[in-house]
Amino acid sequence: SLSDHQKLEREARICRLLKHPNIGKPPWAQRVGESMCFLEIPSKGHCIHQILESVNHIHQHDIVHRDLKPENLLLASKCKGAAVKLADFGLAIEVQGEQQAWFGFAGTPGYLSPEVLRKDPYGKPVDIWACGVILYILLVGYPPFWDEDQHKLYQQIKAGAYDFPSPEWDTVTPEAKNLINQMLTINPAKRITADQALKHPWVCQRSTVASMMHRQETVECLRKFNARRKLKGAILTTMLVSRNFSGKFSLFPSLGFVSCE
């Protein structure tokens, strides 16, 4: 259709605009959220720093990704220190500077920002919110917002209802929590920018970040997180093929999300 053609043209135009070591284009890289699963990255501090570098670059070019999530992060190779790249610009949009407008409902449920869910004008800060969700997952292996009921999930997000429960967060530094809080700020005008996040003390403390991310309990939770997500994807695919389910049926009533217990 014409609409699909226009979308492809927009994505191609955006990809041509972006030239950065941390901007990737399939199919030459491996997905962090799938085959790499966050677990084979030598340093996850290296990971979040490069994610922020890529987001800062696209924002400098007045591009909003709108679908930041682990599945859209790529590793150039399995080699130590491989570049982490941001990919899949299918939902990306071009904005005018710090313009805020209603560009339509787009993204993945657990990574959507409060302003999108409220159908308020939005812009670059939606990507920072998603970065906060990704960082939270990287640190403890489960997401800040989760409910089997999507309406309840959205209510959590709009209220900014997350915390740092014990014992998983007991050994995470106050600086890391501070960065997450600044990324998951409900008011987009007060949310930290990508440029500011790159200068945050926690991001600059690369060695500390790397050691924190290799805690065994975090690695185990990440394994569970990735396994659960893959299972949900397989179940959903099967259901969509069979088309034998009600619109009111909860797709994953008994799975929940990961627990570190």
Q: Which residues are catalytic?
A: 67
CB 226 within 8 A of CB 37: yes
Question: Which residues, listed in sequence order, are joined to residue 85 by a DSSP beta bridge?
Answer: 74
* β pairing state of 84-86 and 73-75: antiparallel
Token readout for 166 is 């014990």
Q: For residue 196, which amino acid is it?
A: Q
CB atoms within 10 A of CB 39: 14
With contact defined as beta carbons under 8 Å apart, do 188 and 115 qualify?
yes
